Amino acid sequence: MSRENDIENMDTAIEQTAAASGQTEAEASLGTVTESDVNASEESGEKSGEKSGKKNGKKSKKKKSGKNSLLLDLLSFIIRIGWILLFLVVLLQVVCGITVNRGERMSPMFNDRDIVVYYRLDKSVNAREVIVFEDDSGNVLLGRVVAKTGDTVDIDERGLKINGYYQTEKYAHGDTVMFEGGIAFPLTLGEEEYFVLCDDRSNSLDSRTLGPVPFARMLGRVMLQIRQRDF
């Protein structure tokens, strides 16, 4: 009986030892898994941080690139506007000029408030062309050239006579007469002088009272008109 108890006690001790050993291995295994999971989690966090940092860096670069592109576009736009303004200044101050016709002196071809564009560079005008000129007071006027350098102009009861020939002028209306206090006829034009008349011959603001227009006072030849009724 004593021997059987000893055997049972030994078996119990062995089972307890085995159970303790198994529990220890399980705890060790659990501890190892837990540490591995922690390490893996840390590595995953580091990689995620690196990716996030790279994305933020790319976004920052894109923002900077966008700002630089906007500034370049704005600078390019300003430069273009500057070139356009420079072109307009040269065009209007050197090549062409703009004035507004005042009154009905040149009707029916030019009406009051018509915008007139004239060409400055070529002042070699021919008879019957319309020019823009200044009078002695600096007023800008329009007039039609009827005679040039070397021509002899005369006006009598029958009308306008150039170099001894009476002129038929389809663009003129009204009688071409002399005005009291105006210049004396016949008149031979000197070097670079033009005799200019209004199309409305009842108006006296032309060479009949102002005298011949010198080349220095001629601003240019009319090349374009914009009717005031177009506005």
Residue 226 phi, psi dihedral angles, 5° rounding: -120, 115
Domain ranges for the chain, please list them.
Answer: 101-230
Residue 6: the pLDDT is 55
Distance of CA 76 to the CA centre of its chain: 12
pLDDT at position 186 over 60: yes
CA dist 165 and 154 (Å) reads 9
* Phi-psi domain of 192 (left: phi exceeds 0; alpha: psi -120 through 50; beta: other): left
What is the rounded average pLDDT for all residues in the chain? 80
Residue 27: the pLDDT is 47
pTM of the model: 0.63
Residue 159: the pLDDT is 93
Of 50-54, 96-100, 184-188, minimum mean pLDDT range: 50-54
Residue 83: the pLDDT is 87
The superfamily CATH assigns to domain 101-230 is Umud Fragment, subunit A (2.10.109.10)
CA dist 191 and 208 (Å) reads 18
Closest CA to 151 of 177, 112, 178, 190: 190
Distance of CA 230 to the CA centre of its chain: 23
Give the model confidence (pLDDT) of 41-78 as tens digits: 555 555 555 555 555 555 566 666 777 888 888 888 89
Give the model confidence (pLDDT) of 124-183 as tens digits: 899 999 999 999 999 999 999 999 999 999 999 999 999 999 999 999 999 999 998 899
Residue 68: the pLDDT is 82
User: What is the bridge-based pairing of β-strands 193-197 and 140-147?
Assistant: antiparallel
- What stretches of 91-116 show up as alpha helix (H) in DSSP? none
